[in-house]
Chains A and B, each alone.
Chain A
């Protein structure tokens, strides 16, 4: 047996774990029931008799299975996630405690409204914070994720135009935008046209103004933008778009840079989605659930989707389809069943109350400080295309210029894994070649930042010197580079007994 091989395939604390289908069995279970299995009636001949193929395990085996799996994941609780525009900040455990209070976790969405006034109170209080922090007039709380919120904002714009009797077909989107922006606009039936950027990485306002006309429904702007820069001309852009009768949608993914320091409403926007799982610390959970409430201007508020919570005197009322006709007849409709991501509202509100107005302002300041610290600490070793044009906001952008022949951004990313980090965002935004977008957030200490900077410096230098070991990185992670081509050419999406051993 060589140094690398063990009988189990394990390496000390790094434990391999089979699939539940390989270790469980259909007749095993980790749950006890009080009532013995009783005979059942025929149920109209629809009884399910054939085996389903769902393995069970005892409780101890289940705990071990998932604990072992969890240890193959990187997480914020382990270390810095430098992912641009993802705002991977600390997820406070108070959030989890609050979300699990029985009065929040164990209430049904259709209970009589008198029995859930506290829940409506949470929604109303959070809504008030979001409106006040952004300087807007209303908020749609029901969208279930950021992209869902974008859709909500665009559909409000579409409804507003229809109410004016106008059929505008075009939405303008900067070429640096995240893919959800044009996808959302296209879903809503708009044609998407690109706005170029200046050499300073910002929207080319002259080009935008030149394109404006009566066929433009609006623009979708991210501010700060996906290059990590504040759009200085945002107000001028809003004025110009309003001037031709269009609307301004703001992608709020980067709100962490300006929360408490700038109100997007002051910059003339009409709608902005807020990612509670970014700026407001609700957990990423390995890929959702998120929550994407959308703040709205007075112009768009009448079109917000159902349902929403309203204060009427001393009590809260949920406005659904039934009462919408009274005063919200122009709502564009319903985006999802029930009321929205209540479990995320409680978490976000706990976070917001913890920080308060002063703490949230400090959040933005520390987030911007940390990003600029990284930018200036690394601009001598990595090309930073916009470093000359002034400070960045909450994220620093580097390109792959200067890497050795044959070495690319992906090699830097994989090298960072061996250093104990999740890689930064790579190849986005598309406007920078081999982009590396780094957002540290405010929850990183100076020590943590210095270690990250040192690691990225080391990997970058190896990439510039053409260190061949980078090409096969990562070496120390539970798995090395995965064959994504094979996965796409021959998709295997479920376990099958007849493929056991593959």
Chain B
């Protein structure tokens, strides 16, 4: 299933209209040890680019922006008990991974503006 990336270091896996969102490994390294993640509630409508989650380390709190528009279907409850998953498995989209939430896409056309893995790697390389 294709994975897309944003310049704010979010990734989104897309399977039809079902999407899974998380932050990249690069982002978790920048953040340091993650202590808490605040996730959007199921049912919440998100617009692309809107801040929708917060990931906290000891010294900083960073916004996570919705890479695409849609409606949240589920948050990753495992992060509440074990926020360290974001560090150990940031790009894991399955159970046991550090994914943040799943949503139903409202406009798959938005994916055209996102990067693929190669472009993202190049983007990160230039930072």
Within 8 Å by CB, do A and B touch in the complex? yes
What is A's interface to B at a CB cutoff of 8 Å? Answer: 427, 484-485, 488-489
Could you give, for residues 22-50 of chain B, a 1 whenever the CB lies within 8 Å of some chain A CB and a 0 otherwise? 00000000000101100000000000000
B79 to chain A, nearest CB (A): 11
The listed residue (A427, A484, A489) touching B36 by CB distance below 8 A is A489
Residues of B within 8 A of A489 (CB): 35-36, 83-84
B residues lining the A interface (CB < 8 Å): 33, 35-36, 56, 58-59, 83-84
Minimum-distance CB pairs A-B, first 6: A488-B35, A485-B33, A484-B58, A489-B35, A488-B58, A485-B58
A427 to B32, CA, bound (A): 16
Once bound together, how far apart are the Cα atoms of A217 and B35, in whole Å? 37
Residues of chain B within 8 A of A484, CB atoms compared: 58
Task: Give the A-B pair count, Cβ closer than 8 A.
Answer: 13
Chain B interface main SS type: loop
Q: In the complex, which residue of chain B has the Cβ closest to the Cβ of A484? A: B58
User: Closest CB-CB distance, A180 to chain B, in whole Å?
Assistant: 16
- Residues of the A chain whose Cβ atoms lie less than 8 Å from the Cβ of B36: 488-489
Residues of A within 8 A of B33 (CB): 485
**What chain A residues lie within 8 Å of B56 (beta carbons)?**
488
**Measured CA separation A488–B33 after assembly (Å):** 10
Distance in angstroms between the alpha carbons of A364 and B83 in the assembled complex: 48
Q: Can you list 13 A-B contacts with CB-CB less than 8 angstroms, sorted by A residue number?
A: A427-B59, A484-B58, A485-B33, A485-B35, A485-B58, A488-B35, A488-B36, A488-B56, A488-B58, A489-B35, A489-B36, A489-B83, A489-B84
| Chain A residues whose CB sits within 8 angstroms of the CB of B84 once the complex forms | 489
Contacts of A427 in B (CB 8 A): 59
Q: Which residues of A sit under 8 angstroms from B59, Cβ to Cβ? A: 427
In the assembled complex, the CB of B78 is this many whole angstroms from the nearest CB of chain A, namely 13
CB distance from B83 to the nearest CB of A (A): 6
11 more CB-based (< 8 A) A-B contacts, given A485-B58, A488-B35: A427-B59, A484-B58, A485-B33, A485-B35, A488-B36, A488-B56, A488-B58, A489-B35, A489-B36, A489-B83, A489-B84
Per the bound structure, the CA–CA distance linking A427 and B60 in Å amounts to: 12
A489 to B35, CA, bound (A): 5
CB distance from B52 to the nearest CB of A (A): 19
* Nearest CB of B to A124, in Å: 43
Output the least CB separation between A491 and chain B (Å). Answer: 9
How far, in angstroms, from A122 to B42 measured CA to CA in the complex? Answer: 58
- Interchain CA distance A327-B84 in the complex, whole Å: 59
How far apart are B56's CB and chain A's nearest CB, in angstroms? 7
- Distance from A102 Cβ to chain B, minimum over Cβ atoms (Å): 46
A293 to chain B, nearest CB (A): 31
Tell me the smallest distance from the CB of B34 to a CB of chain A, in Å.
8
Assembled-state Cα–Cα distance A427/B35 (Å): 20
Residues in A with CB closer than 8 Å to B83 are 489
A484 to B59, CA, bound (A): 9
Instruction: Considering the complex, give the chain A residue whose CB is closest to the CB of B82.
Output: A489
CB distance from A191 to the nearest CB of B (A): 15
CB distance from A482 to the nearest CB of B (A): 11
Q: Tell me which residues across on chain A come within 8 A of B58, comparing CB atoms.
A: 484-485, 488
CB distance from B25 to the nearest CB of A (A): 18
Assembly CA distance A489 to B36 (angstroms): 7
A427 to B58, CA, bound (A): 14
CB-CB under 8 A from A485, the residues of chain B are 33, 35, 58
In the assembled complex, how far is the CB of residue B12 from the closest CB belonging to chain A, in whole angstroms? 26
Minimum CB–CB distance from A378 to chain B (whole Å) comes to: 26
Distance, CA A489 to CA B33, complexed state (A): 10
B30: shortest Cβ distance to chain A, in Å? 14
